[in-house]
Amino acid sequence: METPQSSYIPIIIQAVFAAGFVATMLGLSHLVGPKRKSQIKDENFECGIKSYGNARIPFSVKYFLIAILFVLFDVEVIFLYPWAVNFKVLGIIGLYKMLLFMGLLLVGFFYIIKKGALEWE
Amino acid sequence: MRALTYTSFLGIACLVLEIFNLRKIVVPVVVIALLAILGINFTEWNGSSVSFYNDMLRADNFALAFTGLLIVTAAGLVAMSGSFYDTEETKLADYISVIVFTLCGGIALVSFSNMAMLFIGLEVLSISLYILAGSKRRDIRSNEAAMKYFLMGSFASGILLFGITLVYGATGSFNLAQIALYASGPGVDPIFVVGVIMILIAMLFKVSAVPFHFWAPDVYEGSPSLTTAMMATLSKVAAMAAFYRLFSVSFVNNFSGFAWILSVVAALTMLVGNLTALNQDSFKRMLAFSGIAHAGYMLLAIMSLYQNTANALFFYTVAYTFASLGAFAIGISVMKRRKSEKIEAFNGLGKSNPFQAVALTVFMLSMAGIPPLAGFFAKYYVFFEAIKTQHLAVVIVAVITSAISVYYYFKLILAMWTKDSEETDAPAGAISYIAIAAICLIVTLALGILPSLVPSINQVASK
Amino acid sequence: MDIKEIIFWSLSTIAFITAIYTVIAKNPIFSAISLLVCFASIAGHYLLLNAQFLFIVHIIVYAGAIMVLFLTTLMLMNLNEETEKHKPAIAQIAALVIAVALGIVLMLAVRKANVILTMGPMTDSIGDVKSLGTVLLSEYFYPFEFISVLLLSAMVGVVLLMKKDKTAALK
């Protein structure tokens, strides 16, 4: 899988195109679209209950628990990538090594379930 | 180096026990398993094939000896955790598995032969300790300790990683022997030197040497006492051994440039540690500063690197570990009963619990280096090695500071024997604390009488 | 100038500016977003060096997951209060002096460095995922398995520190 950096040029072109498309569309809708401005129109909620208070209230820590567990398993999944690319070269030994790694983390996964860390109280 | 593999599986076994609701048996199972691993560990003693797993680990006698010490320490801590966490039974298995994971990190640190293992080992050790430091969730001091330790520790890990990267950039290898080969060659690159200094800084942080010691007192004081005991013994010994291993294998040839830095650091560490310990009134804080001072004495062994210093360092760590572990065992039991961490909490212990008072007195005297005890020979060996390598000035500082240290150790001893406590009812405390303290007492006395009991760790067989 | 050089310099400029803005921004959210841009440009550097795996990891784990964590942490805090005190001037000056000194030492060291001597021949396969995977699962398989201990320890820690105590809730 020899890849000189020049092979990334299509990707760069695609990225530039995607960004350019978004920018063009936003600009276009700004130019072409109708503009009506009034105090009522500019409110966060045009209809319904009048908003009060501040949106920046502290989150529950429960989200953070899920977020950290996500990161941990994310790191685990990342390690699958170099193994998967070499799947045939590494053969059955590589599979065992990977199974050991996954197995150890699977214990962690069962532990998390047992502890009820994924339950939303 | 099968000990590391088995210990890792033991930690995972704790989690399995927790999954199957078997947390009642976890303490005895782990202690017995650790002792079994200790036995397995010493079957490799003086072994002929020392390189393991593509030279990631080396089971030379240095590694085996320190692994043994760490396993014994961890077994003691696990044995105490049953009664220490008696109010949080549902979390017992979790705590014990984290303790075992810390031990895994420690074993990797004393037996690594590759920078990758050094770094992962240090991270396993540190992350487990951050968790344990903050494990008293409702206690603001525990939160503070975890936060401080985490921020500063991860910064130090970052510096270590940067240093390893630079060393890799200069040498093209993570292997200690390869790095040593490069370092002994002509024309060492400047980035190699910068890398080694960065690694040096990170290691000095981990062993809490002055001027990288600021985290230690706050973290020691705020953490739950058992975690403090772990930081003072297991973590400090592992970091010290890793430090020695790294510098004695890889950087010994260009060491003359670092020796003077280390001698200044060692002298400062002993001075600051001992002088600040003088006016502490908290037991844990006093032991924290005493731990800093002891790190200074251990640095003497690293400073005077050559053949025999490994023996001196090992003897010192054995003496220090058992004295500390014993002191914490009694300290935890007393602090738990009196619900105070001040030195006044120990008032009148001599009358209410003579055995505990005697044991604690012996541990304090051993740490101060009073002759017939293990601590005396530990200091003697280390000073002797330092004198042999012409570090007389530092040894003079060391002798003076150990004389100073007697004062604050005696403050505790006097509190136990001469002062009276208002509280007269003092139940004996859990049996596990007393048992650990008794074992530590026996070791401390035995090593004082027969210092040759500690095996020489010079490798007999060829590498 | 070569196209690679142009990319290198523009990425470096972006990384440098956003890194500084991360530190000096008053609003923590701006700080986090600027760090995100910094990560992205560093990922671009990895790609220039043909380190594809690092690139992917950097985008997925750092720019993706870790940044989400940072932002979640910011949400956990009360951002309305301006509670953070400024450090005393002496500390700021000391930090600046040390950072500049470290920078100078590193620059001097790198300028004098002679690093390529011991490396093997530079081929296109260096740093790509395939060769990394081979090394990771053969020579470095023990540290690789040991990483699972690190992850497990972190998992236990998360549950230990964050999960509400069931017994406490019952009482």
- Contact yes or no for A105 and C154 at CB 8 A: no
* C-alpha triplet B228, B231, B234: angle, nearest 5°: 130
Give pLDDT, residue C121. 55
The answer to whether the beta carbons of residues B228 and B328 sit under 8 Å apart is yes
- CA B321 → CA A56, B310, B313, B378, distances in Å? 50, 16, 12, 11
Q: What is the 3-state secondary structure (H, E, C) of A23-63?
A: HHHHHHHHHHCCCCCCCCCCCCCCCCCCCCCCCCCCCCHHH
Q: What is the DSSP code string of B302-341? A: HHT-STTHHHHHHHHHHHHHHHHHHHHHHHHHHHHHHT--
Question: Hey, is the C-beta of C157 within 8 angstroms of any chain B C-beta?
Answer: yes
pLDDT value at residue C56? 86
Q: What are the start-end ranges of the H helices in C25-88?
A: 28-48, 52-57, 67-76
pLDDT at A1: 41
Indicate the pLDDT class of residue C123, thresholds 50, 70 and 90: low
DSSP one-letter string for B42-53: HHTTT-S--EET
Cβ <8 Å between B89 and C157 = no
Q: Which residues pair with B175 in a beta bridge?
A: B114
DSSP B143-176: HHHHHHHHHHHHHHHHHHHHHHHHHHHHHS--BH
**Which range scores top for mean pLDDT: A99-103, B168-172, C124-128?**
A99-103
pLDDT at B351: 83
Chain-centroid distance of CA A66 in Å reads 14
Task: Fill in the amino acid letter for B151.
Answer: L
C83 band by pLDDT with thresholds 50, 70 and 90? low
> Does the pLDDT of residue B302 top 50, yes or no?
yes
Select from B276, B114, B110 the least CA-distant residue to B208: B276
pLDDT level of residue A19 (50, 70, 90 thresholds): very high
Share of chain B above pLDDT 90, in %: 52
> What was the pLDDT predicted at A105?
92
Q: Provide the pLDDT confidence category of residue B188 given band limits of 50, 70 and 90.
A: confident
Q: How many CB pairs under 8 A join B and C?
A: 108
Place of tokens 């685990």: A76
Contact B454, B447 (CB under 8 A): yes
The encoded tokens of residue B303 equal: 């400073």
Asked, as a colleague might, if the bond just before B211 is cis with ω within 30 of 0, I would say yes
Contacts of B12 in chain A (CB under 8 A): 104, 107
Q: Any bridge partners for residue C3, and if so which? A: none
pLDDT above 80: residue B443: yes
d(CA C140, CA A68): 26
The predicted pLDDT at position A2 comes to 46
As a whole-number percent, the residues of chain B with pLDDT over 70 amount to 96
Distance CA C64, CA B52 (A): 37
- Secondary-structure breakdown of chain A: helix, strand, coil percentages, each rounded to the nearest 5: 65, 0, 35
Between residues A117 and B103, the one the model is more confident about: B103
Does any CB of chain A come closer than 8 Å to the CB of residue B15? yes
Each residue of B271-285: pLDDT tens digit? 999 999 988 889 999
Label residue C78 by pLDDT band (50, 70, 90). Answer: low
Report the range of poorest mean pLDDT among A96-105, B183-192, B453-462, C23-32. Answer: B453-462
* Phi, psi for A52 (deg, rounded to 5): -140, 165
Alpha carbon distance B302, B247 (integer Å): 8
- Residue B169 tokens, joined: 């950039």
Report the residue count for chain C: 171
Give the minimum alpha-carbon distance from A91 to chain C in angstroms, rounded to a whole number.
11
Q: Tokens at residue C123, please?
A: 């081929």
Neighbors of chain A by Cβ distance (3+ pairs < 8 Å): B, C
- Output the CA angle A51-C79-A45, nearest 5 degrees: 15
For A37-80, how does the pLDDT look when each residue is reduced to its tens digit (9 = 90+)?
A: 777 777 766 666 666 777 667 677 788 888 888 889 988 888 89
From C123, A74, C105, A47, select the one nearest B195 (Cα to Cα).
Answer: C105
Q: Give the nearest chain A residue to B13 (CA atoms).
A: A107
The closest CB to that of B191, out of C113, C117, C165, belongs to C113
ipTM of the complex in this document? 0.90
Distant-in-sequence, close-in-space partners of B71: CB < 8 Å, separation ≥ 6: B3, B7, B34, B35, B37, B38, B41, B103, B107
Token pair belonging to B240: 């010290």
Q: Per mean pLDDT, which of A52-56, A108-112, B47-51, C23-27 is the most reliable?
A: A108-112
Q: In this model, does residue B127 exceed pLDDT 50?
A: yes
Going by C-alpha positions, the residue among B309, B303, B308, B276 that lies closest to residue B290 is B276
Average pLDDT over residues A79-106: 91
Q: Are B410 and B369 in contact (CB under 8 A)?
A: no
Contact indicator for B426, B336 with CB cutoff of 8 Å: no
Per-residue pLDDT band for A4 (boundaries 50, 70, 90) equals low
Q: How far apart are CA B207 and CA B232, in angstroms?
A: 10
| d(C-alpha B161, C-alpha B174), whole Å | 12
pLDDT given at position B427:
63
CA–CA distance, C137 with B151 (Å, rounded to integer):
32
Closest C-alpha to A82, from B5, B124, C132: C132
pLDDT of residue C5: 87
Residue of C nearest to A104 (CA): C148
**What is the model's pLDDT at position C171?**
38
Q: How far is C39 from chain A (nearest CA, A)?
A: 17
Of C114, C115, C149, the CB nearest to B8: C149
Tell which residue, B66, B18, B10, B56, has the closest CA to residue B36: B10
Residues facing residue B58 across a β-bridge: B51
Helix, strand or coil, per DSSP, at residue B57:
strand
Closest listed residue to residue B58, CA positions, set B106, B103, B107, B111: B111
Per-residue confidence (pLDDT) for residue C11, from 0 to 100 = 93
Q: B16 and chain A: CB distance < 8 Å anywhere?
A: yes
Chain A positions in Cβ-Cβ contact with residue B19 (cut-off 8 Å): 107, 110-111, 114
pTM: 0.91
**Nearest residue in chain C measured CA to CA from A109:** C155
Q: Give A-chain residues touching C47 at CB under 8 angstroms.
A: 5, 8
The token pair that represents C61 in the structure block: 């784990």
Q: Which residues sit opposite B51 in a β-bridge?
A: B58
pLDDT at B426 > cutoff 70: no
B-chain CB neighbours of A115 within 8 Å are 18
Instruction: Specify the range with the lowest mean pLDDT, choosing from B406-415, C47-56, C94-103.
Output: C47-56
pLDDT for A48 equals 66
B114 strand-pairing partners: B175
Distance between CA atoms of residues A66 and A72, nearest Å? 10
B-facing residues of A in 102-121 (CB < 8 A) are: 104, 107-108, 110-111, 114-115
CB of C110 within 8 Å of any CB in chain B?
yes
Average pLDDT for B1-29: 90
Whose tokens are 């803005």? That residue is C21
Instruction: Give how far C94 is from chain A: nearest CA, Å.
Output: 34
Query: Are the C-beta atoms of residues B126 and B102 closer than 8 Å to each other?
Result: no
* Distance, C-alpha B121 to centroid of its chain: 15
Looking up tokens 């044991």, which residue turns up? B359
pLDDT number for residue B462 = 36
pLDDT of residue C118 exceeding 50, the answer is no
- The residue that leads in pLDDT, B240 or C126, is B240
C98: contact with B, CB 8 A cutoff: no
B265: Cβ contacts below 8 Å, ≥ 6 apart: B204, B209, B210, B211, B296, B299
What is the C-alpha to C-alpha distance for residues B354 and B401, in angstroms, rounded to an integer? 30
Q: Which among B52, B101, B171 is the nearest to C153, CB-wise?
A: B101
**How far is CA B36 from each of CA B30, B33, B45, B68, rounded to the nearest angstrom?**
10, 5, 15, 11
Average pLDDT value over all residues in chain B: 88
| Token digits of residue C167 | 């017994």
CATH 1.20.200.10, applies to C1-82: no
pLDDT at res. B111: 92
Residue B341 main-chain phi, psi, to 5 deg:
-105, 10
Compute φ and ψ for B57, nearest 5 degrees.
-125, 155
Eight-class DSSP state of B123: H
The answer to whether C115 contacts chain B (CB < 8 Å) is yes
Going from the C-alpha of B389 to that of each of B94, B259, B398, the distances in angstroms are 47, 11, 15
pLDDT at residue A90 greater than cutoff 70: yes
**Integer Cα distance of B232 and B73 in angstroms:** 11
